[in-house]
Amino acid sequence: MPATSATPATAATPAANDQLLDYVTSCALPTPWAQFTLHAFVEHTTGKEHLAMVLGDIGDGEPVLARVHSECLTGDVLFSQRCDCGAQLEGALQRIAQEGRGILLYLRQEGRGIGLLNKIRAYRLQEAGADTVEANLQLGFHADARNYELCLPMLAQFGVRKLRLMTNNPRKIDALTRLGIEVTDRVPLLVNRNAYNNSYLNTKQAKLGHMMTPPAAVPADQAPAPAATPDVI
Ligand SMILES: Nc1nc2c(ncn2[C@@H]2O[C@H](COP(=O)(O)OP(=O)(O)OP(=O)(O)O)[C@@H](O)[C@H]2O)c(=O)[nH]1
Ligand SMILES: [Zn+2]
């Protein structure tokens, strides 16, 4: 039976307006692994809706198991194998459910901050030979255009300042630390490689500094049937 959040859906009260975003409302969110409480925020400048999934008592001052997840519609919703986002999202929620306590911030900064349409443009460039970083640069963007400043008021809503952060990305840890959020531990969040995400994961490791185990080659005879251009993701 899934764990149930100790935070009732109606318990959270709107915090004072922050300069960056407003707290809006919450509801129960049953998942296959636990019943979370889903909290909704709206960002002032963009009108984007950002979300927090909370399980258990996270406001007691102890470090909280946390995932700061950037939106990836293709990976989180459409089952894309080009990246590791969907598997990381699922893995993070499962891990929080196992502990019975934690928070997942779902930030609407799709495509590392360049948006869905530009991410699809970037995928097309990758099919022509660019890697994930080169494609962003060719489109005139930084390799990673995200910022994490919303995390501070979102976490403050729940009285959270110390995280055990599920990530492989050292720049995410640096960014949160600079905001004044204490990352007490990094919890690796590794997913299986496949023929479609292998070079994407290698590029994240080589060019974006992600901390992963050494790349393991995917034997050709174990790889799924090839798509049009699987090796240039
Ligand atoms: N521009 C661009 N964005 C991508 C691509 N693949 C995935 N993304 C986006 O990248 C974001 C996820 O970033 P990742 O680099 O996979 O992981 P991370 O959040 O930095 O690090 P972890 O915490 O270890 O997962 C999501 O917003 C995805 O939409 C791509 O090829 N190009
Ligand atoms: Zn993704």
pLDDT 10s digits, 170-207: 999 999 999 999 999 999 998 777 887 887 778 878 87
Which of these, 80, 26, 74, lies nearest to 53 by C-alpha position? 26
What value of ipTM does the predicted structure carry? Answer: 0.97
Which of these, 171, 187, 180, 177, lies nearest to 66 by C-alpha position? 187
Q: Which residue has the tokens 């409480």?
A: 37
164 noted as active-site residue = no
The model's pTM:
0.86
161 noted as active-site residue = no
pLDDT 10s digits, 102-137: 999 999 999 999 999 999 999 999 999 999 999 999
| Set 82, 144, 164, 221: catalytic member | 144
Atom of ligand 1 nearest to the CA of 168: 24
